[in-house]
A and B are shown apart, each in its own frame.
Chain A
Amino acid sequence: MPQQDLELVAHLMRRAGFGATREDLEELATRDYEGLVEDLLYPERFPDLEEDVLHRYHIDINDQDGLRAQSRWIYRMINTQTPLKEKLTLFWHRVFATGAGKSMHYPSAVAQIETFRGNAFSGFREILLDLAKDPAMNFWLDNCENHKDEPNENWGRELLELFSMGVGNYTEQDIKAAARAFTGWTFSQPLPVYPFGNYNSTFVYREDDHDDSEKTFLGETGRLNGEDIIEIVVKQPATARYLSRHLYDFFVADEAQVPAWDETPPRDPDAIGELTKAYFDSGADVRSVLRVLFNSDFFKAARFNKVKSPIDFVVGTIKLAGTYRFPEPALRGLPATAGVMGQTLMQPPTVEGWHTGKEWIDAGTMNARVNFAVNQLGNASNPGVQSIVARLEAEGNSLAPEDFVRRCLDLTGPLNVGSDTHASLLESANAEGDLTFDPGEDRDGSVERIVSMVQQIVSSVDYQFE
């Protein structure tokens, strides 16, 4: 199939998922692109991941403990057949950033992620309503302290500022009205941790604690309750723009940091316009907006202009190396690996979420990223490395240095690299001449050359981007 189709599909799978094996890419590239997008948008067409194996080999994987919950989620991201659903779960977690460290109650943190997963493709109204009822979010933003006689504005404010409209599109009075509308929205107390372990929590509506008086919110007046606030919010152009910008930032190209959004225009206002239109045409249906996004020219052209998040980096590299297809013991170490790189699942630093793009990178995270990739691709018995070796061997008895470099870049991506990186790779290849697979020749030496070349590629600046 044409190289450009392969490259486009690889780009789609990196963005709408966490990457794909070469075998999968070659199969997917024979299909029509729009059909692939539809498959991604309708995960119900594919079987859900069997987690039995995970539980059998990690018998203590449960929701009591953060490390295990994080390991389980990473396992899902690696092995899912519904990658966009998992990627969207991560997206909603990024936007509705809730930290489990405040409650130290992992069952509710995990339940929240399950809600995001279930709602991945729902309408934005439904997503926000389920968010407002979510116990973990409720506790995180103190809505349990939001009482009829003593309102607490935390949830009301962040709903507008961070989860729907963005700064500059509402007044302090609107925040107060929203807060009052959500009084009485609380959760059932789970039993405390000591000594019996964690129990689940559910949404509870306390009518007697609800301020039922008249309120004015964004120009509409009435005895507004929480659902009404959400109804009004979802209709706003500011909401459509804000959500679209988040989707663009996550799936298309790194925008400025969110706190700067009210002062900094989007890098591609036309693209945001297209997504906003899709939002209104579909009645705030997330699936419809994503359909427009993935089929757009601006998406197809947006190659390698996002800095990989730690989770993207870890999971994508694992998919390339072909490891963790089975829940190996070392699975437990992956959450901490992503944590050292700056992203601990279910523990964003604040409700504003993680700082993304180039802010993922500092000396410490760079060190961790490069070492992780070099180690994963450094083991010649890893399935992904074996696959690369087998394909190069199948090309023939000898490969000129230029072709060797070109093929390795192709098989580790396909990856685009800058001319500076390319020059370095070529220099390495030239130093040892043709890559040969002569019978009787030292095959191990050739395998070692391939591994070194792949390691050099995944330690490059370019590999930090997707």
Chain B
Amino acid sequence: MPENGKPPVMVVVYLGGGNDFMNTIVPYGNDIYYDSRPLLSIPQKDVLPIDDELGFNPAAAPLKQLYDEGNVAIVQGIGYPDSSRSHFRSTDIWHTCEPKKIGTEGWLARVVRDLDPKKENVLTGVSFSRGLPRALAAPGVTVTSIGDLDNYGLMTGISDQARRIEALEKFEKMYGQAIGTGPVREYLAQTGLDVLKGADLLKKAPEMYTSEVEYASTGIAGSLRDVVRVHTADLGVRVFFTQHGGYDTHANEGPVHPMLINELSLAISDFFQDLRDHDAADNVVMMVFTEFGRRVRDNGSGTDHGAGGGAYLIGEKINGGLYAEYPSLEPSQQEFGDLRHTYDFRGLYSTLVDQWMGIDPVPVVDGMFEQIHPFTN
């Protein structure tokens, strides 16, 4: 938990497609790695070492910098039993904590519900994405989903400011008058008013924000900058979600993967710098996850879907280092040619939810899972 009474905030970043863990945290001390990946292995001399066995892909240098500052926990070998190699199914599993059946509630929606049961703040959970990800969807839970922060809200297509304001006033009046006209109609009217309220609150964020940090013009940098803009506007947001896509590198992984993790690393580094500049970093923890790792052998151009992957916890209150266990590359230990997971992802969710957010993890992840202890104090 943060020390100074500020409420804990979590920022969840989803890497879409299945990030290649072995080429992010490279087992450069292991010959099997080099034998299995004639095309894609990162040369030993290029790796940024963590210790004698493991090192960062050089493209992730900004993240390595944060690691050296003691702020990155690498959770190795994360996954779940009978890992699904289907994007669709595996992403669903990570979003709903239901490996065996179809889940109906997202785990982050459950967190939002626990934090704000009376729905006093429509901005408790905010997602920077087009449409609501499954992790944040549950019946009865309001989550604000923002495609474009600078243009968020109703009537944004009306370019004439005066007309737009007039339209908003009319909307508010119309929706505010929904008398006893049936539960469905009233629900819709209340939802309309919630949108208005959320948008009104959010428009302060771009207005108030100033920064010295020059973010790159990538999607992920823009999303993380939006997180800073909203977080520093003190609107009571406790759960942020965003995503970075393109990690499904079956082909062309050589040029593509380093580019992606470089974009990601720079964005994360700029994000934390920006938070520090605003004195707003101490109650924020970021979790980066992906739906699976990739296969041990490369396929001549890229890698195919694997099982055990990696996740990262980043923040000032993180006790940086290596957590759980790097999966064994020994062929006898592999799971159909993939890295066997060593730590259940629901344990990581439980860690974050229990130790950082201070709420009961069991109903959130549907069970009790072993936690790690990556937080300082």
Contact = CB atoms under 8 A, between A and B. Distances in A.
A421 B157 contact: no
Contacts of B122: 363
Nearest to A367: B195
Interface stretch (A126-134, A168-176, A456-464): A456-464
A362 B142 CA distance: 7
B204 interface: no
Interface in A447-466: 452, 455-456, 459-461, 464-465
Given A101-B87, A350-B102, A378-B157, A362 B174 contact: no
A364 B194 CA distance: 10
Interface string B183-205: 01101110110110011000000
A427 B170 CA distance: 9
Contact of A371 (B87, B157, B170, B185): B157
B174 A378 contact: no
Contacts of A99: 88
Given A102-B88, A358-B184, A418 B178 contact: yes
Interface residues of B, number: 47
Interface in B71-125: 86-89, 102, 122
Interface string A232-265: 0000000000000000000000100000000000
A378 B158 contact: yes
A210 B174 CA distance: 62
Nearest to B158: A378
A342 B191 CA distance: 15
Given A102-B88, A359-B139, A456 B170 contact: yes
A370 interface: yes
Contact of A364 (B145, B155, B179, B192): B145
B174 A420 contact: yes
Give the secondary structure class of A's interface: helix
B192 A370 contact: yes
A370 B167 CA distance: 11
B251 interface: yes
Contacts of B250: 194
Contacts of B178: 418, 420, 461
B12 interface: no
Contacts of A427: 173
A461 B154 contact: no
Given A336-B130, A366-B191, A459 B163 contact: no
A254 B187 CA distance: 15
B171 interface: yes
Contacts of A339: 130-131
Contacts of B163: 452
B192 A366 contact: yes
B69 to A, nearest CB: 37
Contacts of B142: 362-363
A450 to B, nearest CB: 13
Interface string A355-395: 00111011110110011001100100000000000000000
Which 8 pairs show the lowest CB-CB distances between chains A and B?
A375-B157, A364-B145, A420-B177, A424-B174, A101-B88, A340-B131, A358-B184, A367-B195
20 contacts: A101-B87, A194-B250, A194-B251, A340-B130, A363-B142, A363-B145, A364-B131, A364-B144, A370-B195, A374-B154, A375-B157, A418-B179, A424-B173, A424-B174, A452-B163, A455-B167, A456-B167, A456-B174, A459-B171, A461-B174
